[in-house]
Copies of this chain bind each other. A is one copy, B any other.
């Protein structure tokens, strides 16, 4: 049996999961950030990740539908605002579509999610289902990958701007917004988890939830790497970059 951790020991354990399992360590991200992908491979990344982005408000609303405290719901509601915006064309999903637009993908095709990899779909669905079905503590703990995202984002933006002539500051606007949103959100979620995980069982559940979420992010890059880099077997029905000669 794991012993009871102090809140700061728990935080250290959570952060260690990020240090070992966050998807900035994945070979696909190293290629992406290093400017070593083709335009078609970057398109595939943005297309697939759109599905993840589009499902984030669904998981946040599912989480809120089980929060009895209005104060926590108000706090969590900001995530809905961040992703859906206040009006048409605003918010994180719209900014992600600006990215796919900028990469030359047809918007209707992106929004249809017809071309995404099955591996993307299954991973994202698993995440939404996890948040819907597990305890509130686990649902909130699974959001803690945001603790690790500011580092990857700065790296990604500078790397992509330097590495790709088809990428501009404007198309990467999504990430600038996340630089302030993610720390605000993860501060709240971390404080919640440190406060609410007060038995060894609940601490282990929170740690496992964060590990699960790292797996969700990691496996999406596995699927991209397998389909579009090495060996490069695109599954039937999935997006085929134009330069591969089949579009």
Give A contacts to B, CB under 8 Å: 54, 57-68, 70-71, 73-74, 77, 80-81, 83-88, 91, 93-94, 132
Contact = CB atoms under 8 A, between A and B. Distances in A.
A177 to B, nearest CB: 15
A58 B54 contact: no
Give the secondary structure class of A's interface.
helix
B74 A87 contact: yes
Contacts of A66: 58
Most chain B beta-carbon contacts within 10 A, residue among A65, A91, A132: A65
Contacts of A73: 57, 61, 80, 84
B57 A64 contact: yes
B70 A93 contact: yes
B85 A70 contact: yes
A77 B70 contact: no
Contacts of A62: 61-62, 65
Contacts of A58: 64-68
Contacts of A132: 65
Contacts of A94: 70
Contacts of A65: 58-62, 64-65, 132
